[in-house]
Amino acid sequence: MPKSYTDNGVSSKSATAKKGGLAATIAVIVASIFAVEGGYVNDPVDPGGETNYGITKRVAVEHGYTGPMRDLPKDKAGEIYVQTYIIKPGFMPMVEIEPAVAEELVDTAVNMGPPRPSRWFQQSINEVCATSLSVDGRVGPGTISAYRTCQLSMGGKALCLRVLDRLDAKQSAEYDRLVRNNPSLNRFLRGWKNNRVGNVPRDSCGASL
């Protein structure tokens, strides 16, 4: 029985397996974010305001949710994670190329918005790979290609480790900056650093799909 092929020349069986692997990896990333975010929070000191599963009310409304934030369905939050913090910022290719880096980018995007981790990712590639990406916070084909090229020359695990270290360092420094500018945030600092810095296991590096 002859194989059937997709338009890109990949056998349909292989494409289905790859799609299944991608979906499973996304599910792991989403589950890790649910684990660290917890549920409903409405702290007047938190700049994010009323949130549930780390989703702010503003973002939930943008996605068509009109009910009380306390009742935000978990599956709706998961949908928002994928659409707003994986697909829209351009992180989806990294889910396939290097899931550990993708998890770090998505986790940080949920915590403090996509622009910061997007810029830090570009800066990290420039620092580690001696590239000259424009640090514009737009993770597109050029950024992804630069990572792939560097991955081939350096090795997937080595590059992943170095990029994760830099992303964590930049995130930690940003938390310090936020607290310096607004000392009332100091009570969040320990939790931020304990839960969001170094939270992606380094032994998961190199596990591309």
pLDDT tens for residues 108-167?
Answer: 999 999 999 999 999 999 999 999 999 999 999 999 999 999 999 999 999 999 999 999
Domain presence at residue 7: no
In a domain, 111, yes or no: yes
Reply yes or no on whether the pLDDT at 1 is more than 90. Answer: no
Residues whose CB falls within 8 Å of the CB of residue 122, separated by 6 or more in sequence, listed in order: 133, 134, 135, 136, 137, 139, 143
For residues 89 and 85, what is the distance between their CA atoms, to the nearest angstrom?
6
Q: Per-residue confidence at 4, pLDDT binned at 50, 70, 90?
A: very low
Residue 9 lies in a domain: no
Contact 209, 26 (CB under 8 A): no
Residue 154 amino acid letter: M
Q: Which one has a higher pLDDT value, 101 or 42?
A: 101
According to the model, what pLDDT value does residue 16 have? Answer: 41
Q: Which residues does 158 contact at the CB level (< 8 Å), separation at least 6?
A: none
Quick check: 72 and 60 in contact, CB under 8 A?
A: yes
User: Into how many domains does the chain fold?
Assistant: 1
Q: Is 1 a member of any domain?
A: no
Residue 6 lies in a domain: no
5 falls within a domain: no
Nearest to 57 by CA among 72, 35, 36, 38: 72
pLDDT at residue 18 in the model:
55
CA 189 to chain centre: 20
pLDDT for 63 beyond 80: yes
Identity (one letter) of the amino acid at 132?
A: S
Specify if 2 maps to a domain.
no
**Domain with 66 in it:** 15-204
Query: Residue 11 — very low, low, confident or very high, per pLDDT cuts 50/70/90?
Result: very low
Q: pTM for the whole thing?
A: 0.86
Residue 200 in any domain: the answer is: yes
Q: What is the CATH number of the domain that holds 144?
A: 1.20.141.10
Reported as a single tens digit per residue, the pLDDT across 137-147 is 999 999 999 99
Q: How far apart are CA 42 and CA 145, in angstroms?
A: 40
pLDDT band at 17 (very low <50, low <70, confident <90, very high): very low
Q: Tell me which amino acid residue 102 is.
A: A
Q: Side chain identity at 101, as an amino acid letter?
A: V
> How many whole angstroms separate alpha carbon 32 and alpha carbon 17?
23
Position 46 scores a pLDDT of 78
User: Is the per-residue pLDDT at 31 higher than 90?
Assistant: yes
Q: Give the CA-trace dihedral at 201, 38, 27, 103, to 10 degrees.
A: -40
- Tell me the pLDDT of the chain averaged across its residues: 89
